[in-house]
A = this chain, B = another copy of it.
Amino acid sequence: MFSKACEYGIRAVLFITVHSLQNKRTRLKEIAKEIEAPEAFMAKVLQKLVKHNILLSSTGPKGGFYIEPEKIKSTKLIQIVRAIDGDKIFVGCALGLPKCDENHPCPVHDNFKEIRDSLTEMLSTMDVGEMATNVDKEIAFLKY
């Protein structure tokens, strides 16, 4: 469903958000360890999230990654997915047809539209703040 980069990215953002809620920055090393992702690969993913203005970063001692407080509630899962995987899961035909729409549908068009719509709806609704809070309360988890 999501690429590995995206899986890492979502988990990382949530981990960082938990710390940002306490005004703390999170260093790459911590993140990679928690997420169990290769450090250098995690770094690339985080860079992409910074470029897309989902995260902020600062170098030097006391540096690290963080998210602006006012973005914690407004950042939706779909933004993270778009930043890393693009919109390939949101657009395009399930069977790979170059042209597939209402008027010229592939054999699974309607059925998939329904599923994709509910996926999009879901990702557009879920915000980083609520999810991170669940992680903080140990209602949900970021590692096994």
Q: Which residues of A contact B (CB under 8 A)?
A: 1-2, 4, 7-8, 10-11, 14, 77, 89, 94-100, 104-109, 111, 114-115, 118-119, 122, 126, 131-132, 134-135, 140-144
Give chain B residues whose Cβ lies under 8 Å from the Cβ of A126: 108, 111
**Which B-chain residue is minimally distant from A36 (CB atoms)?**
B98
27 sampled A-B residue pairs with Cβ under 8 A: A1-B1, A1-B94, A2-B95, A4-B96, A7-B94, A7-B95, A11-B96, A11-B106, A95-B142, A97-B142, A97-B143, A97-B144, A98-B144, A105-B140, A105-B141, A106-B141, A106-B142, A107-B131, A107-B132, A107-B140, A107-B141, A108-B131, A109-B140, A111-B122, A114-B118, A115-B118, A115-B119
How far apart are the CA atoms of A107 and B100 in the complex, in Å?
Answer: 33
CB contacts (< 8 Å) of A95 on chain B: these are 2, 7, 10-11, 142
Question: Distance (Å) between the CB of A134 and the closest chain B CB?
Answer: 6
Q: Is the pair B14, A99 in contact by a Cβ cutoff of 8 Å?
A: no
Q: Can you add 9 more A-B contacts, CB < 8 Å, to A1-B94, A2-B95?
A: A1-B1, A2-B94, A77-B108, A100-B141, A105-B140, A106-B140, A107-B140, A111-B122, A115-B122
